[in-house]
Amino acid sequence: MSLWTLQKPWQFRQVYRDGEKIDCKYAILFYYRTGDSTDGPFFGFVASKRIGNAVKRNRAKRLLRQVAADLLPRVKHRDLWIVLVARSGITELKTQQLADEIVERLENQ
């Protein structure tokens, strides 16, 4: 199953402004319930220049995409917009380590 992605800047702003936030050590997860029953959930991925050069930012986004793909079957609500933001140190992790951390934080919510 492929990931649906957020494309427009206003979508990211709405998730940041109106959504909920979950802090992890290596990532921040924002989510927003749209109320529409869509084909979702829709994902967005962010890695700022604080992460490092372009190679590190792209690796961070690849890790976040893989984690989102792993989370997709577990998401029950189809009306979610989810934005995953990379934090420093993320490029040193394996995908499974990052996924375990995010799943643990989600289960504790």
Range of the domain at 63: 4-78
Which contacts of 89-95 are long-range, i.e. CB under 8 A and separated by 24 or more positions? 89/25, 89/26, 90/26, 90/27, 90/47, 90/51, 90/60, 90/63, 90/64, 91/51, 91/52, 91/56, 91/59, 91/60, 91/63, 93/26, 93/63, 95/63, 95/66, 95/67, 95/70
Identify whether 33 is part of a domain: yes
Residue 37 lies in a domain: yes
Please, what is the average pLDDT of the chain? Answer: 89
| 103 belongs to a structural domain | no
Q: Domain total for the chain?
A: 1
Judge whether 36 lies within some domain.
Answer: yes
- Per-residue pLDDT tens digits for 59-86: 999 999 999 998 888 877 788 899 999 9
